[in-house]
Amino acid sequence: MKQRPRRNRRSDTIRRMIKETQLSVNDLVYPLFLVPGEKVKDQIISLPIAYRMSIDTILKEIAECIKLGLNQFILFPSIPEVDKDTTATYSYQDNNFYLTAAKTIKSKYPKVCLISDVAMDPYSSDGHDGLVRDGHILNDESLPILAKMAVAQAQSGFDIIAPSDMMDGRVAYIRNALDEAGYSHIGIMSYTAKYASAFYGPFRDALDSAPKAGDKKTYQMDPANSREALLEGDLDVAEGADFIMVKPAIHYLDIISKCKRRYNTPIAAYHVSGECAQLLAASRLGWLDYDSAMPEAVLSIKRAGADIIITYFAKEVANLLSHGKV
C-alpha cells in the first residue's frame, strides 16, 4: 500500500496539524430568553440547559460569557399573555421590556453583538409568525408589522435583525424600512431556509409561543425539499440579506453545505432547541457521553459549512475552548 491514511492519524500532534475544521468562540451565538421582572432564572423543562431570565440575571450571564470571549447573543422575549394581541403591537411598543433590555445591555456592554428575531409569534395571541385572518396566514399584510418591529429593534440598539417569519418579500421590505429610518448600517440575518420542523418544541415551551391553531407549514419549508432552499436563498440575496441562515442545523447539514457553495454571504446555522434537547436527554440517561458528543455535534455544523453557529451550547463550548478541550 502506497497510501496509508492512518499515518496522518498516528499522534495527537499530527492529528492537530491536519485538522480541517476548528471551532472558535467567534463562530458562536448564544440564544437568551428574556422575561419581565427581577432575579428570575427559570429553567426550561424541555431544554434544561436554558433559562428564562430577567434583565439583571441576563446581565450576569452576559458578563460570564464575555469573560470566555463570547460576545454574540440572540435574544428572545417571553411575552406575558396579557400583552399579546392579533397584530403583535407589543413588539414595537415604546419601552417594552425587551427593547428596554437591549438598551441596557448595549449601554453596559457596547462591544457585544446583539441579534434579534423578527417574527410575530412571541407577541401574537394566535401564535403564528404572520397575521392570521380566517385561518389563513396573510403575507403582504404581515410585512408592515415586521418592518415596524425591525425598526423598533434597531432603535433600541440591536446590531443585526434576523427575520424568522418566512413571509415572502420580507427581507426587501425590512431592508427598505431600516434604510428609510436611518439604519442602513444594521445588517439582516435572514432565516432563509427555515423548515417546518418538529425540533422547535422546547423553544415554543420556553416562549409559550406554539400556534393556537394549525401549523406553520404554509410558510416554513417542507423538510423534504432542498432545491427550494436555494430559491429562498437567491431571493434573500437579491433582496439584500447580509447573512443566509439554515435552520435547523444538524438535520439539515446538506442544506448548509449547498448554501455555502452557492452564496458569498456568511452562512449561519441554527442548532435548534430540539436538537440540543435530544443530546442532553440521551446524555442524562447515560446513553451518550455529553463531553464528547456535544462538541462533536457543534463541530459537524461548522464542517458542513456554517460560519456562524447559533447554539444553546455556545457558553459550554466557549468554556471548553478556553481550556483547550476542543
Residues in contact with ligand PBG by CB under 6 A are 117, 119, 121, 129, 164, 200, 203-204, 216, 272-273
Question: Shortest distance, CB of residue 121 to ligand PBG, whole angstroms?
Answer: 5
Give Cβ neighbours of residue 15 (< 8 Å, ≥ 6 apart).
8, 9
Cβ density class 173-190: b for 16+ within 10 Å, e for less: bbbebbeebebeebbbbb
Q: Exactly one of 148, 194, 258, 260 is catalytic; name it.
A: 194
Q: Exactly one of 84, 247, 302, 315 is catalytic; name it.
A: 247
Question: Shortest distance, CB of residue 127 to ligand PBG, whole angstroms?
Answer: 9
Question: Shortest distance, CB of residue 137 to ligand PBG, whole angstroms?
Answer: 12
Cell numbers linked to 113: 453583538
Give Cβ neighbours of residue 22 (< 8 Å, ≥ 6 apart).
none
Give Cβ neighbours of residue 54 (< 8 Å, ≥ 6 apart).
34, 35, 36, 37, 38, 39, 40, 41
Is 247 annotated as catalytic? yes
Nearer to ligand PBG, 75 or 99 (CB): 75
Nearer to ligand PBG, 52 or 216 (CB): 216
- What's phi and psi for 93, nearest 5 deg? -65, 135
Question: Shortest distance, CB of residue 120 to ligand PBG, whole angstroms?
Answer: 8
Is 39 annotated as catalytic? no
Angle (deg, nearest 10), helices 97-108 and 143-155: 30
Dihedral of CA 72/311/193/116: which sign?
negative
Q: Assess contact for 300 and 276: CB atoms under 8 A.
A: no
Nearer to ligand PBG, 2 or 147 (CB): 147
Nearer to ligand PBG, 12 or 222 (CB): 222
Give catalytic residue positions: 194, 247
